Structure 1
Amino acid sequence: MTESPTTTLADGIADVLTDARGETVTVADVHRLTGGASRQVWSVEAHTSDGSPLPVVLRRDPPGHGDADRMRAETACLRAAAAAGVPVPQVLAAGDTAPGIDAPYLLMNRVDGESLPRKLQRDPELVAVRAELAEQMGYALGLIHRSDVAEVAMLDSGDPLDAIEAVYREFDEPRPAVEMGLRWLRDHRPPVRPKALVHGDFRMGNLLVDRTGIRGVLDWELAHLGDPIEDLGWLCVRAWRFGAELPVGGIGTREQLVDGYERATGIRPSDAELHWWEAYGTLRWLVLSRFQAQRHLSGEEFSLELASIGRRVCESEYDLLLVLGLLDDPGEAPERRSATATVHDRPTTNEIVDLVATTLTDEIAPALADDSDQQRYLLRICVNLLRIAGRELAAGDDAANALRARLGELGCATEADLATEIRSGALGYDDVAVRRAVSSAVLTRLRVANPRHLVP
């Protein structure tokens, strides 16, 4: 008995588009793109019946791991946002599954524009729009928040602080910086605004921009109903500045952002309100980073990239202490004492790590083919992890010993003990000794993981 041929992904997309448009659509090429926190993104080169090009993007869940409800919600968000005037891709077709696609999916027209943050921050061709981009982002957020919430009633609408705390508690990994953040956020919470459609991940990297401005707002998978100022605070989180100084995506000021928002909505959040949501966003990214790393650390998914994120959690701990004004730098860790005697010849372990990292960077990376973007990306992660290992070897035990002494002064043997004391209220998050101990721990990690992240 002859088996029936399997429908390919290209054939499945062509069939869906043909049904949706009422004309024959052919697909010439399908290739996967990078990006997307949990969904696959594919670029599709299609043509209509008269031969006209039809550039399409497919978003789908990984086959076998679909969430049809979330995909339907994302589709509803795009349609509601489009009706409110938000620049978004047009939904061409969507469904719970289809032959060849084999997972919940969403097909959209492909929008031209630049999304890479570093290019948006530096490209000379974008210099004019860059001066207006923070204001444009505020205006776009205002349009999103004016969307009809009746069209997206299926979205989650729970308390965001409760939700992120629940994710953190599931790790059973008490962190003093997180406990300080949770206490501060609950002590300073601003009045709650009426619920609106919240994008949930509006930032550099999820926007398409050209010389005319914002062309598309992408990646709606974290959308929910909530306080609209959450989106503004998230955009100001230091992680989304990608190394630049200006607080809004590294390209603009908070005042510009709020000016645009007020132009769209008539609402101007206070500095205190925006600061609270920026602090919340920083804590949220801290917990979500640890959540991503857990996918690898738990054995669920082998991933070099996810593993490396585990060493970046301290960046968000540092950012959280900064935004809350709770960083108390006790000074540089003491220099490592003279090396202990060793039976091994040189190069030392640290020298070996540095040698391998330098060789990978200077000799192997340039030899990769031009089409090896993914391999280059993984190579950069490998080099970064080697550098981290080298800095940890060079640091020795002095900083850890100093931290243990500071914890001991508070009657705590471990950071977990200190986190528990902060959570219970037995120790105040603004107590000088607490701030110094927590700052010492975070700085010790950060000076090894990514010393360039430290504020000069």
Structure 2
Amino acid sequence: MTEQLRTSTRDLEELRKRATVWLRGRVGESGAVSEMSRPSGNGLSSETLFFTATWDGGATRCVARLAPAPEAVPVFPAYDLRAQFEMMRLAREKAGIPAPRALWFEPDPEPLGTPFFVMERAEGEVPPDLPPYTFGGWLHDASPADRRRLQDASVGILAALHQTAFTPRELAPFGAPGLRAHVEAQRAYYRWAHGARPIPLLERAFAWLESHWPDDPGPDVLTWGDARIGNVMYRDFTPVAVLDWEMAAVGPRELDLSWMIFLHRFFQDLTTGAGLPGLPGFMRREDVCRTYRELTGHEPRDLDFYEMYAALRHGVIMARVWQRRIHFGEQPGPDDPDDLVLHRATIEELLAGYEPAS
């Protein structure tokens, strides 16, 4: 987890030239695009480009998100960039969440070879994935009080989104509502990503979900989907930009809560496995749920189920990521397909720790 994973096969200078032509079609002949770069930190799915756009004497620091090229062996089967663009707009304008200001959406693949959208670039610090923030760095070295401030503010993002009322038309781009629809979509994703070589551990986890299904999943809300601190930019431990909305869906609140809790556990387990202490007092389930309850009045429930589901969902994604590495010759394929799941031991621990269904 300490080296940058390949996310693109596109040439940056060629993209810059084509983006300049596209921008001039939007703002006039004064439009220009600076040299492009790619981030060195988080993000493994759609392609991200940094550049500065200038026109009419002004300059705007921008980020473009592009659907990956087929030869890049995408993490996901489809990239609905229009839905992501709309999600950022709704989060910012209706829920008051500091999502980046959405500038342009381009559905035509002709200009850059794929649909894309452009948003303003924010400035701040992001808890890194590579190496994980639990290994060291600004968040690891912060005071307990500052880490708690960041934790509570991050939970507040979920509370603000979940407490906002959206119209059926606004929710339509984010798929069929409900927990059952969400799980079936994940099952379809698993089959797409790993159908040629099933992963027994993940199939056991799917079976576990069916035997532990919640009696009442509760009302549906608009969920962020990839709700984790690695998708937030902070200044003074306060969120200033909430990123990566491509997994947004309509379902129970606990989808986001459990994802936020589990993704910290994922990094914490990696850290303790390396013999380091990490951040054991950070993002604990009881603390996250207490803050969420105080902010919303909603008592999170069935968290054992949702933690298993978060671990399963992350397992499907990570196994796909490692298969990409194998495809590009960055690592050999394992003899045991369960080893494609980086947090195999965590899922095995969860399966062993819960009582079997009666």
Identity among equivalent positions (%) equals 27
What secondary structure, in the 3-state scheme, does the structure 1 residue paired with 2:34 have? strand
What secondary structure, in the 3-state scheme, does the structure 2 residue paired with 1:33 have? coil
Unaligned runs of 5+ in 1: 1-6, 328-427, 432-456
Match of 2:296 among 255, 265, 276: 265
Deviations 1:395-429 (A, max 9, x none): xxxxxxxxxxxxxxxxxxxxxxxxxxxxxxxxx96
Q: 2:120 maps to what in 1? A: 109
Match of 2:51 among 44, 49, 54: 44
Higher helix share: 1
Shift of 1:188: 2.3
Deviations 1:40-72 (A, max 9, x none): 11110233423x441111111235689987011
Q: Distance between the aligned counterparts of 1:156 and 1:306, measured in 2? A: 36
Shift of 1:211: 0.9
Q: Distance between the aligned counterparts of 1:240 and 1:174, measured in 2? A: 25
Matched, 1:90 2:101: yes
Shift of 1:130: 1.6
Q: Mapping of 1:37-436 within 5 angstroms?
A: 37-50=44-57, 52-63=58-69, 70-83=80-93, 84-97=95-108, 100-115=111-126, 116=128, 117-118=132-133, 119-124=137-142, 128-147=145-164, 148=166, 150-157=169-176, 159-168=181-190, 171=195, 173=197, 177-190=201-214, 191-237=216-262, 238-241=265-268, 243=271, 251-270=282-301, 273-295=302-324, 301-304=327-330, 313-326=340-353
Q: Tell me, yes or no, if the aligned pair for 1:133 and 1:252 is still in contact at 8 Å.
A: no
Shift of 1:305: 6.2
Q: Tell me, yes or no, if the aligned pair for 1:41 and 1:58 is still in contact at 8 Å.
A: yes
CA distance 1:167–1:25, change in 2 (3 Å): closer
Letter in 2 for 1:284: R
Shift of 1:171: 2.6
Matched, 1:27 2:71: no
Quick check: 214-223 or 142-151, which moved more?
Answer: 142-151
Unaligned runs of 5+ in 2: 1-12, 272-276
What secondary structure, in the 3-state scheme, does the structure 1 residue paired with 2:239 have? strand
- The answer to which structure, 1 or 2, has the higher relative contact order (CA under 8 A, 6+ apart) is 2
Q: Distance between the aligned counterparts of 2:339 and 2:201, measured in 1? A: 14
Shift of 1:39: 1.4
Deviations 1:19-49 (A, max 9, x none): 5567943322211224433311111023342
Query: How many aligned residue pairs are there?
Result: 316
Aligned-residue Cα RMSD (Å) equals 3.5
Q: Distance between the aligned counterparts of 1:166 and 1:96, measured in 2? A: 25
Structure number with bigger Rg: 1
Shift of 1:98: 6.2
CA distance 1:430–1:120, change in 2 (3 Å): farther
Shift of 1:137: 1.5
